[in-house]
């Protein structure tokens, strides 16, 4: 998300309220939908599924297309062609994506919750998600070699930040 997109999102607010507080996810336009992404890149980490229980576990290993420094996809436009299990988040499939991290803005808004203060839409600064330690920056490792994903199972992507919720504006 860029500052320009951020400002564009705010410019469409009704009654001075930001769009994410007055519009449902279904009613958001494409720019607003895209601006909701906080850029944490936790959804771009490899996950493992327990064959018996179906339970998913995050690993710290990033998708091969993720730039772990910037937390951006190197080939965003072609992502679903380049990576078989890259899932495009849409209004239609959002409710089925149980593995989205608890801090994911789409999951929060879908669940009727508020954005955290470190969300770039709240702070006006795309770096705030990284400065708050919420993104994969400094924690994710590159995919490659003879990595065993089981050795890289981590809990931090599932960490909630409930105490940091903004109060309703």
By CB under 6 A, name the binding residues for ligand SF4: 37-44, 63, 65-66, 73, 79, 82-83, 86, 89, 100-101, 104-106
Q: How far is the CB of 11 from ligand SF4 (least distance, A)?
A: 21
Minimum distance of ligand SF4 from residue 98's CB (angstroms):
13
Q: Could you tell me the two tokens for 44? A: 């771009």
- Minimum distance of ligand SF4 from residue 78's CB (angstroms): 8
CA distance 103 to 40: 9
CB-wise, 18 or 39, nearer to ligand SF4?
A: 39
- Minimum distance of ligand SF4 from residue 15's CB (angstroms): 26
Measuring CA to CA, which residue among 79, 85, 73 is closest to residue 41? Answer: 73
Nearest to ligand SF4 of 16, 40 (CB atom): 40
Q: Which is nearer to ligand SF4, 44 or 61 (CB)?
A: 44
Cβ nearer to ligand SF4, comparing 16 with 77: 77
Quote the tokens at residue 135.
């993104």
Start-to-end C-alpha separation, the chain: 23
> For residue 128, what are its two tokens?
């705030």
């Amino acid at each position: 998300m860029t500052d320009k997109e951020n400002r564009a999102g705010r410019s469409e607010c009704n009654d001075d309220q930001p769009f994410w507080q007055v519009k449902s996810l279904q009613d958001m336009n494409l720019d607003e939908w895209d601006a909701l992404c906080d850029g944490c890149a936790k959804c771009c980490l490899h996950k493992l599924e327990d064959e018996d229980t179906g339970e998913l576990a995050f690993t710290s290993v990033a998708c091969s297309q993720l730039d772990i420094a910037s937390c951006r996809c190197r080939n965003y436009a072609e992502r679903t062609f380049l990576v078989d299990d890259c899932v495009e988040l849409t209004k239609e499939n959002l409710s089925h994506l149980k593995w989205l991290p608890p801090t994911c803005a789409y999951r929060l808004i879908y669940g009727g919750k508020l954005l955290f203060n470190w969300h770039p839409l709240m702070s006006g600064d795309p770096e705030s998600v990284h400065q708050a330690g919420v993104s994969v920056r400094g924690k994710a490792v590159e995919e490659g070699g003879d990595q065993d994903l089981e050795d890289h199972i981590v809990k931090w992507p599932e960490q909630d930040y409930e105490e940091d919720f903004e109060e309703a504006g």
